[in-house]
Structure 1
Amino acid sequence: MVSTVLITGASQGIGKATALLFAQKGYDVVIAARNSEKLAQVAEEIRLLNRKVLAIPTDVSDRDAVTNLVNQALANFYHIDVLVNNAGICMSAPMVQTTIEEWQQIINVNLWSYIYTIKTLLPHFLSRQQGTIINVGSFGSKVPLPNMSAYCTTKHAIAGLSETLRLELEPSGIHVCGVHPSVTKTSFLERAVFKNKEGNTDNQQAEQMEKFMNSPLASSSEDVAKAIWQAVKHPQAEIIVGSAKFPATLYRLFPGLTQWVFQQAT
């Protein structure tokens, strides 16, 4: 029986790279994202790898849309073996300049969408007594990042969700793993929000982020996809990808020093 993976946020970046890698490894693929045109392009690349693919344009922050996504996936493939929660948005802004509406948006996309997919697909996994859930988080769940309270809140929540679910579901044959990349070379800057202390768009911060994304310290989407594949094939508690390992280790060992360094950088 051919295995099937469901991936959210799959129209570009990490999600696209993961979809293509799993297709290369022989999986059939269900991909979801809001951008239907880009999603269709990814689907065509998967078909060229001689794998079956179902592309479903989905706003994963909409609970009913996620229910439809999972129902369509099961109706077409009858079983899902792996869920990769990857959809997300980035925001950098001081707390005082982050509106409640912006908080709601980032929590809806970065956290609630993960809860929706897990909650909807979990009965299927439990009925089969098997399955893998990969939650793509961020090194922002391991290290406090200046002026990113909303973003880090959601990523800490993803780490907590993954760790707790692992304890709960492992006795039922279901593995849960958090994969935490550093800054990754993707097009996420197209959707990212950067604000300064006055609440205006912070172009300088966006430029700094773009420079970092093009530096050797940034991970590639393919690096993260490979980590996700390893988490599926060699189950483990979590994977911290690439250069994220250094600040995560530094903060764990020397939290005060790490916080001081970050404060000097702002």
Structure 2
Amino acid sequence: MPNLQNAVVVITGASSGIGKATALAFAPTGARLVLAARRPEPLEVTAEACRRQGAEALAVPTDVTDEAAVQALASAAIEAHGRIDVWFNNVGTGVVGPYWEAPLALQKKVVEANLFGTLHGTYAVLPHFLRQRRGVLINMVSMGGWSPTPFAATYAASKYGIRGFTASLRQELTGHPGIHVSAVFPALVDTPGLAHGANYSGRAIDPPGPFLTPEAVAQVVVGLARRPRAEVAVGWPASAARIAYGLAPVLTERGVGAAMRAALRRARPEGRSEGAVAQPVPTGTGTRSGKPVWHARGPSLGGLALGGLGLLAGAELLAGILTRRG
């Protein structure tokens, strides 16, 4: 769909962060937006900001963990516009800390929001795509779908699940050439998401960055609506993580684990919090949280570290090959 004029685009998690930035990125294209999130007031603020850019925007408060609510979201889009052209499963949350320290009910909420939210959205839109014989499904994964995320194990489980689900579904739909399934894998992004996540580490979660901007990720999503691709990394640290774990998983696991443990040891003490995992909170309604972001294509310190892991992984692979040949 090179021309998005009048395209019907559904975006979940649109009250803040990447979802809000994506809605604002689609607005100038002439797309007709159907926006979803748990919080009605911030969601309507996003919709109004899109309308000021000339877009049609319908706000539909939706909890993606509720299958019936997601079905109602799809029905609202069909009732308003008669079809759905693009569906962006964007909702994501997490719990930081040792897995056994956080309540299991909270860990389940992460899987329900991230993985089951994606399953619910896909199940709601696919019948319409099949009837229309076309459509673009875009699933938000993350760099954590390609490499381990120690001290956010349930988040990693959900993201690995979304990646596997998306790749599998893409193959199931090979007989439907007009339907495209894409996955987005960003590196660290400056959104309110870190503050919205639960923290059971006993330490302040404040990565030094620099971060990608949510607007950079949003432009990638708009690009996928125009020209779908299977998997897209955003930020070269994401690609570095994929390469490192693919070449030397044991070394990468140990390196990432050691870095995370060291970061938590250095962080200041902080009380435990459920964040917005179980229930929405009023704070964090913008696209960004104010952390340092990339203003150039140069690598960040985090990217250099991951690139180093990639080089070490390559060295380990080469050593293994030479040992086997010897």
2:285 matched residue in structure 1:
none
- What residue in structure 2 maps to residue 251 of structure 1? 245
Cα displacement string for residues 148-184 of structure 1 (whole angstroms, at most 9, x for unaligned residues): 1100000000001110111112321210011011111
C-alpha distance in structure 2 between counterparts of 1:67 and 1:127, whole Å = 16
Q: In the alignment, which residue of structure 2 is the partner of 1:262?
A: 256
> Number of residues paired by the alignment?
254
- Which whole-Å CA distance do the structure 1 matches of 2:242 and 2:212 have between them? 15
Question: Take 1:91 and 1:41, find their aligned partners in 2: how far apart are those partners?
Answer: 27
The aligned residue for residue 166 of structure 1 is 170
Aligned partner (choices 177, 180, 183) of residue 175 of structure 1? 180
**Larger displacement relative to structure 2 (128-137 or 251-260):** 251-260
Matched with 2:200 is: 195
Q: Using the TM superposition, name which of 57-66 and 89-98 deviates more.
A: 89-98
- By how many angstroms is 1:232 displaced? 2.0
Moved beyond 4 Å, runs of 4+: none
- Aligned pair partner of 1:231 in 219, 224, 235: 224
> In structure 1, what is the Cα distance between the partners aligned to 2:228 and 2:73?
26
How far did residue 125 of structure 1 move? Answer: 0.6
Q: Output the amino acid matched with 1:233.
A: R
What does 1:80-91 correspond to in 2, within 5 Å?
A: 80-91=84-95
Give the one of 23, 35, 38 matched to 1:34.
38
Determine whether 1:78 maps to 2:82. yes
Q: Which runs of 5+ in 1 are unaligned?
A: none
- 1:14 equivalent in structure 2: 18
Q: Distance in 2 between matches of 1:26 and 1:8?
A: 19
SS in 2 for 1:146: coil
Could you tell me how far 1:90 is from its partner in structure 2? 1.9
RMSD: 1.3
| Structure exhibiting the larger radius of gyration computed from Cα positions | 2
Identity of aligned residues (%): 35
TM-score (norm 2): 0.75
Shift of 1:237: 1.1
Q: Point out where structure 2 has 5 or more consecutive residues left out of the alignment.
A: 262-326
1:111 corresponding residue in structure 2: 115
Q: Distance in 2 between matches of 1:52 and 1:232?
A: 18
CA distance in structure 1 between the partners assigned to 2:257 and 2:193 by the alignment: 25
Contact kept, 8 Å, 2:95 with 2:107, in 1: the verdict is no
